Structure 1
Amino acid sequence: MKPIKLIAILGSSGSGKSELALKLATSLDAEIFSLDSLSIYKKIDILSAKPSKEEMAIVKHYGIDVLEIDQENNALIFKNLLLEAIKQTNKKILLIVGGSSFYLKAIIEGLSPMPKISKEIKEKVALIKNPYEVLSQKDLDFAKNIKPQDTYRIQKGLEIFYSTHTPPSLYFKKNPPVGFEYPIDTFCIEIQREILRERIIKRTQMMLKNGGIEEIQNLLTIYPKDSQPFKAIGPKECIEFLEQKISFETLETQIITHTMQLAKRQKTFNKTQFKNIAFFQKDDLFDEILRLY
């Protein structure tokens, strides 16, 4: 196993993770792996709040501009990209930075190898009118552990069933997850709610001022509206505005509100789903990581 220290910096959207990571990377002579479900896509530059070209010239970033808009993103892709980054870097420290802590948890705890799912199977599953009901009929044990609103896991369960002719609960029993081979030290930025709200308001206004709506408008002429990144906060509201379903004022308000709601979910997830995670204010976290590494 390659000698390398992996340090994950988590936190709510808008908490300043990227800014902190860049500062740490230059201080520690480290590189950055982006764990962000929008930055992984090419051409979504404004609404993903990607690091600038100047910032990426200062510190090498992995996991950015990897997928086309119409490609699927999941934890296994991030795991493989992280392993590739570990292989490529010649630095002793790699900072894992992003708000997609669900993916990090999946990577740490392990992922089962997935079967190859054909385009035909995906299309078949997409046409099912009551997917949760169908999944419950095919595999009640698997379905009862999933919320009916969890469209991603329902879809995956059905795709596994039709691809392997095996109930997904049995498939995962035969293909248990394998934990990540490298240890990851995990930290999280703590930030007061009102400060976070002000940061999110300013960031949203800047994204829209810099052409976030036009960015999505141009991409919609090339890629289907049901592409995965278009369902994310920011692109989703911009599409509603472009379809004249909401006003510009409502667009801005909804992005801010939805981002704050996401931040609350992220905070809860980070506090409850990681066994060994340390919480610090941003400046204190900078000092602590420098002290430790």
Structure 2
Amino acid sequence: MKEKLLVIVGPTAVGKTALSIDLAKQLNGEIISGDSMQVYRRMDIGTAKITPDEMESIPHYLIDILDPDQPYSVAEFQREAKSLIATINAREKLPMIVGGTGLYIQSVIYEYQFSEAPKDEALRLKWEEFAHVHGKEALHLRLQEVDPITAERLHTNDVKRVIRALEIYQLTGKPMAEFQKRSPESPYQLCLLGLTMERSLLYERINHRVDVMMSQGLVQEVESLLNNGYPGSLTSMQGIGYKEVVQYLEGKIPLEEAVELIKKNSRNFAKRQLTWFRSMKDIHWLDMTNAGDRLSLVENIRTFVAGKMC
């Protein structure tokens, strides 16, 4: 018998966290975070990290496991998530991956095989220098020219992975995807739920979330990170909400512009997330636009999940 696994994906601010708690209570579930930013300690407000009170005693994993200057990869996430899935199933609980980082989640549910692509430190340094001189947009354009599929997946600000993709292509002549093979079928007894919402309402929720983050002290959180020796150049500090506030704190843009940039970048990120998730097979979509009757919604989903898991 395959191990059971419930996965809930969707764009930022669509309501994944609240729904996952309701379902975990109904399904005897434990939650594995599928968010590449929530692994970092001290980065709470800008990542919309679930609080202990919001967890309502439901166990959560892969949250607050690294300092902001520690590296983390999809291969590490895959290894840790697979181990947790086995452990949770062994306790006769239901493992639930909940999050919005598509590559991380797909690497687990379709068992990506990460073959070791070659490395060249000198070549990597060359591209780092190129990005420093010409800018990250020019770097991303170079990747678009040789590996458009990977370029579409990687954001311009993800300089580290853009450089890695260029490095792989130059050394092998092959796109990064060639080194990320996946199984045609999931190794799990999988129930994959995708949350969606009418676009204007989703954008309204995103804008409101950013306003709440500012009132909760996002500027102070970023300032504290900088003061504790975590520079804005770190991969973790390039996350949406952090990089814009760093620009404000460095005197490059006014606060009002930083806030509008966070909202705009968050909306664009949500669009990219939806594009990614729509390409996933086996996904069952739930429209959260008019999800007013919470009890009925949760009961209907519980019944659906139970049918998939029997």
Partner SS, residue 213 of structure 1: helix
Q: How big is each residue's C-alpha offset from its partner over 1:57-79, in whole Å with a ceiling of 9 and x where there is no partner? A: 61111111122212233321221
Higher mean Cα deviation, 258-267 or 14-23?
Answer: 258-267
> Is there any run of 5+ residues in structure 2 with no aligned partner, and where?
none
Structure-2 change in CA distance of 1:206 and 1:145 (3 Å): closer
Partner SS, residue 193 of structure 2: strand
Aligned to 1:169: 174
Partner SS, residue 244 of structure 2: helix
Give the deviation of 1:122 after TM superposition: 5.5
Aligned to 1:155: 163
Alignment of 1:84-233 (within 5 A): 84-89=83-88, 90-109=91-110, 110-114=112-116, 123=125, 126-128=128-130, 143=147, 146-147=150-151, 151-160=159-168, 167=172, 169=174, 177-179=181-183, 181-221=187-227, 222-233=229-240
Aligned to 1:240: 247
Number of corresponding residues: 283
Give the deviation of 1:143 after TM superposition: 4.1
C-alpha contact (below 8 Å) 1:7/1:184 kept by paired residues: yes
Structure-2 change in CA distance of 1:289 and 1:5 (3 Å): farther
C-alpha contact (below 8 Å) 2:8/2:98 kept by paired residues: yes
Aligned to 2:300: 288
Partner SS, residue 37 of structure 1: coil
Structure-2 change in CA distance of 1:268 and 1:285 (3 Å): farther
Higher mean Cα deviation, 68-77 or 205-214?
Answer: 68-77
- The 2-side partners of 1:156 and 1:72 are apart by 14
Partner SS, residue 189 of structure 1: strand
Give the deviation of 1:234 after TM superposition: 0.5
TM-score by length of 2: 0.78
TM-score by length of 1: 0.82
Give the deviation of 1:242 after TM superposition: 0.7
Partner SS, residue 210 of structure 2: helix
> Is there any run of 5+ residues in structure 1 with no aligned partner, and where?
none
C-alpha contact (below 8 Å) 1:4/1:93 kept by paired residues: no
Aligned to 2:62: 63
Structure-2 change in CA distance of 1:196 and 1:115 (3 Å): same
Structure-2 change in CA distance of 1:178 and 1:201 (3 Å): closer
Give the deviation of 1:210 after TM superposition: 1.2
Higher mean Cα deviation, 115-124 or 18-27?
Answer: 115-124
CA-based RMSD: 3.2
C-alpha contact (below 8 Å) 2:3/2:86 kept by paired residues: no
Aligned to 1:255: 262
Percent of aligned positions with the same letter in both sequences? 28
Partner SS, residue 181 of structure 2: coil
C-alpha contact (below 8 Å) 2:194/2:283 kept by paired residues: yes
Q: How big is each residue's C-alpha offset from its partner over 1:19-45, in whole Å with a ceiling of 9 and x where there is no partner? A: 100111111110001111211111101
Higher mean Cα deviation, 178-187 or 221-230?
Answer: 178-187
Structure-2 change in CA distance of 1:144 and 1:102 (3 Å): closer
Partner SS, residue 8 of structure 2: strand
C-alpha contact (below 8 Å) 1:157/1:168 kept by paired residues: no
Give the deviation of 1:147 after TM superposition: 3.6
Aligned to 2:280: 274
Higher mean Cα deviation, 123-132 or 43-52?
Answer: 123-132
